[in-house]
């Protein structure tokens, strides 16, 4: 929904738009944000932009520095690890509750999802969307699909780290193969193999973080209390 057309729900629309752009790296870590510029771009008053900034700040995706400005937060490795811990705990525990005879419709959706992941030349965002859908479907297969919203709301820093990692790899093929191995193990009733593969799959983000941080340290928060200094561009202290 366009914020310009959102009417009474403009704050939600502005929030959704900004959050999507931050998580999608369109607004990169460390980017300075102007309420006036964003309001003009989105066709709304400053009020829904300011309110959205507060919500995003509460999620740790935006940082507000008095007398300096508002910035997209840099990726915090600690928050990545915390979100990964939550996600792994939920998804691994859910595997124990997959029924012996899984829902045929959900299995078909998972297989179709895997087929779409293998589309030649698939771009990062399409793969990311399918990856999210695959993991949500796995939770639904276990009867815990409603827990996905809790996991999703907590993993903003994690999702940015995952996208940065996808930018580093030449192909998502290893992740696709891991998805297929997890599904095969689940459907064959080998829960332990599914758990081992899924754990390895989910923890790959930590290697991605270190690899990206070596190349682009400015995207990561070396010091969570660092304050940027405005020059011709914002310069972050560490």
Each residue of 180-198: pLDDT tens digit?
Answer: 999 999 999 999 999 999 9
Using alpha carbons, select from 77, 74, 80, 75 the residue that is nearest to residue 32: 74
Distance between CA atoms of 80 and 180, rounded to whole angstroms? 25
Name the least confident of 7-21, 95-109, 175-189.
Answer: 7-21
pLDDT (tens digit, 9 = 90+) per residue, 115-128?
999 999 999 999 99
pLDDT score of 96 more than 90: yes
Which alpha helices (H) appear in the chain, and where do they start and end?
10-23, 35-42, 46-58, 77-95, 104-117, 124-142, 148-153, 156-168, 173-187, 191-215
pLDDT score of 51 more than 50: yes
Instruction: Give the mean model confidence (pLDDT) for residues 56-63.
Output: 94
Task: Please say whether the beta carbons of 141 and 186 come within 8 A.
Answer: yes
Greater model confidence, 1 or 186: 186
Architecture of domain 3-74+221-236: Orthogonal Bundle (1.10)
Distance between CA atoms of 148 and 23, rounded to whole angstroms? 17
pLDDT-derived band at 167, boundaries 50, 70, 90: confident
pLDDT score of 233 more than 60: no
User: Domain 77-215 falls in which CATH fold?
Assistant: 1.20.120
pTM: 0.85
Instruction: Give the mean model confidence (pLDDT) for residues 142-162.
Output: 94
The two three-digit tokens of residue 47, written as one number: 């009020």
Q: Where are the domains of the chain?
A: 3-74+221-236, 77-215
């Amino acid at each position: 929904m366009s914020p310009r057309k959102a009417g009474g729900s403009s704050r939600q629309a502005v929030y959704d738009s900004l959050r999507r752009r931050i998580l999608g790296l369109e607004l990169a870590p460390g980017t300075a944000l102007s309420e006036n510029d964003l309001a003009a771009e989105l066709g709304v008053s400053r009020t829904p932009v300011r309110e959205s900034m507060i919500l995003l700040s509460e999620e740790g995706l935006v940082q507000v520095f008095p007398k300096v400005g508002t910035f997209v937060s840099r990726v915090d490795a600690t928050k990545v690890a915390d979100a990964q811990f939550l996600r792994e705990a939920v998804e691994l525990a859910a595997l124990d509750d997959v029924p012996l005879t899984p829902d045929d419709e959900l299995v078909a959706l998972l297989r179709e999802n895997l087929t779409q992941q293998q589309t030649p030349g698939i771009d990062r965002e399409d793969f990311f969307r399918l990856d999210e859908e695959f993991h949500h479907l796995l939770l639904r297969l276990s009867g815990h699909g409603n827990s996905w919203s809790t996991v999703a709301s907590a993993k903003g820093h994690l999702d940015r780290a995952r996208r940065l990692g996808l930018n580093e790899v030449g192909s998502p093929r290893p992740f696709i193969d891991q998805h297929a191995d997890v599904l095969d193990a689940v459907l064959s009733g080998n829960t332990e193999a599914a758990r081992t593969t899924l754990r390895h799959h989910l923890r790959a983000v930590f290697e991605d973080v270190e690899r990206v941080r070596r190349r682009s340290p400015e995207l990561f928060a070396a010091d969570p209390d660092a304050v940027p200094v405005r020059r011709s561009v914002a310069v972050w202290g560490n």
